[in-house]
Structure 1
Amino acid sequence: MSLLDDIIDAHGGFARRNAFERVEAAAVTTGGLFPLKGLPTDTTRRHMRVWLHEVRASVSPFGAADQQTAFTPDRVAVEKTNSTLVAESRDLPPLFAGHGLNTPWGPLHRAYFNGYAMWLYLNSPFLLAADGVEVREIGRWAERGEDWRVLRVYFPGSMVTHSRQQDFYFDRALDLRRHDYRADIAGSFPAAQLIGYYVEVQGMRVPTRRRAYVRGPDNRPVEDLLMVSIDLDEVRFL
């Protein structure tokens, strides 16, 4: 078996995961990226839904108590909970054309970012075995007094994600501890996301804490520059 096979088994395995349609959780998301984008940030607990066998995600409430998002690779929308449309875009690449780190975002920009990012996070590491995804081990990395193995992943151009190349770091227990990428829709700033606080839910293992920092020239997180903070609880599979 490959390292990726072992990692997937350690997170619950495909057989168990395939019994479910989606994963849901309460999520609190804050961090310095959102004020840079002119967006409010708060500690409201929101309901996150991510589908496991299709690229689809939703979060509520969003912008108002009776609103939610709807994300798929070819559409992002804000809707009322009764499905009445509030805002929508099907022309997604131009939505971020020319954007830098300080380019302001509107509700659809944040809905798109939240949708694809949470879909990636809650489908990892299983997503690394998807068709068209290339994975190779690039060596070991010493951090926090530990020795981590690193998988370099190349995502196909058809997949909506942070960047084509991303690195995933796993500890001796095969837990995901760090995730590196460039946030292409936000000026391609380099990020190092530290990950932990695993829970076991219905036989699946899920990390519930993520902290994405700017990644410095030494390839280490600059912990004074916290860009996105994500805390999950009430995780369940359906």
Structure 2
Amino acid sequence: MRDIQQQVMEAHGGLDRFRQFSFLTARLHQFGILWDLKGKPDTLAHADVRVNLRKEEVSHWPFHPTQNRSRFTPDEVSIETPGGKVVERLAQPRASFAGFAMERHWSDPQLAYFSGYTMWTYLTSPFVLAQPGVVAEEIAPWSEQGETWRRLRVTFPADIATHSREQTFYVGRNGLIRRHDYEVEIQGNNAAARYLLDPVTVEGIVLPSKFRVYPRNPDNTPATEPLIVGVDLSNYRLE
């Protein structure tokens, strides 16, 4: 199992190389049905994101139609003006989603919480496998798109905010992550399959330039529609 973890991280540029950087910034174009369902169709449709690669902190901006930005940590989220004045603050944000289903609207801090942990998980993978408390085991392979992908079942510790405690990464023959499965606990445990597309290399680190997220069927196949979330990423910068 260690062999596949090592293979995946090496294929994405290597853990030693990744640890040379502290922050990752990117430009996002986001679409899909989720944002309308949450009452936020335009808030982060075109935004920038800055991810702390050393601890779970993320910022998105602007929160349309304002120029405000978010500050996310697992324990607290705030929305701030460009000058740093706090407009809204939400402590213990995960608890605020109790009883939420897919169609229930979010506040701006709740949107910041979801978007924050989501982009932190996505943009630190697969190197998140090396985080303390993260446990991975190889499970049976999966055939899709005329290929056979190895699979890693990953269990996250409680102090990492993410979609669900257990998630599955699908690894192609070249060691790159092709698919990523999880349940979105904060909106009724909806099962999802995320596809990582069109990889690019930035400062030696391999990153996807597109994500596409679809519902996952009970037989583990992805539904072809609706598109829950689409994300196009550009202007990557590592520092």
TM-score bucket (shorter structure): over 0.9
Q: Is residue 2:130 matched to residue 1:129? A: yes
Q: Deviations over 1:101-141 (max 9, x none)?
A: 12221111111100000000000000012111110000211
Q: Distance in 1 between matches of 2:146 and 2:83?
A: 51
Number of the residue aligned with 2:224? 223
Q: CA deviation at 1:32?
A: 0.8
Q: Which amino acid aligns with 1:173?
A: N
Unpaired runs of 5+ residues, structure 2, are none
Label 1:38 to 1:44 Cα distance change in 2 as closer, same or farther (>3 A). closer
Note if contact 1:31-1:228 (Cα within 8 Å) is conserved in structure 2.
Answer: yes
User: Which secondary structure does the structure 2 equivalent of 1:16 belong to?
Assistant: helix
Divergent runs of 4+, >4 A = none
Q: Is residue 2:173 matched to residue 1:205? A: no
Q: Which moved more, 1:164-173 or 1:93-102?
A: 93-102
Q: CA deviation at 1:38?
A: 2.1
Q: Distance in 2 between matches of 1:23 and 1:39?
A: 25
Number of the residue aligned with 1:99? 100
Instruction: Please give the residue correspondences for 1:25-40 in structure 2 after superposition, counting only pairs within 5 Å.
Output: 25-40=26-41
Number of the residue aligned with 1:195? 196
Q: Distance in 1 between matches of 2:75 and 2:105?
A: 22
Matched length: 238
Number of the residue aligned with 1:52? 53
Q: Distance in 2 between matches of 1:223 and 1:129?
A: 33
Q: CA deviation at 1:100?
A: 1.2
Number of the residue aligned with 2:148? 147
Q: CA deviation at 1:153?
A: 0.4
Q: Distance in 2 between matches of 1:195 and 1:42?
A: 23
Q: Distance in 2 between matches of 1:13 and 1:145?
A: 28
Note if contact 1:24-1:236 (Cα within 8 Å) is conserved in structure 2.
Answer: yes
Q: Distance in 2 between matches of 1:163 and 1:28?
A: 24
Q: Distance in 2 between matches of 1:43 and 1:155?
A: 27
Unpaired runs of 5+ residues, structure 1, are none
Q: Distance in 1 between matches of 2:167 and 2:203?
A: 29
Number of the residue aligned with 2:159? 158
Q: CA deviation at 1:44?
A: 4.3
Q: Distance in 1 between matches of 2:238 and 2:33?
A: 30
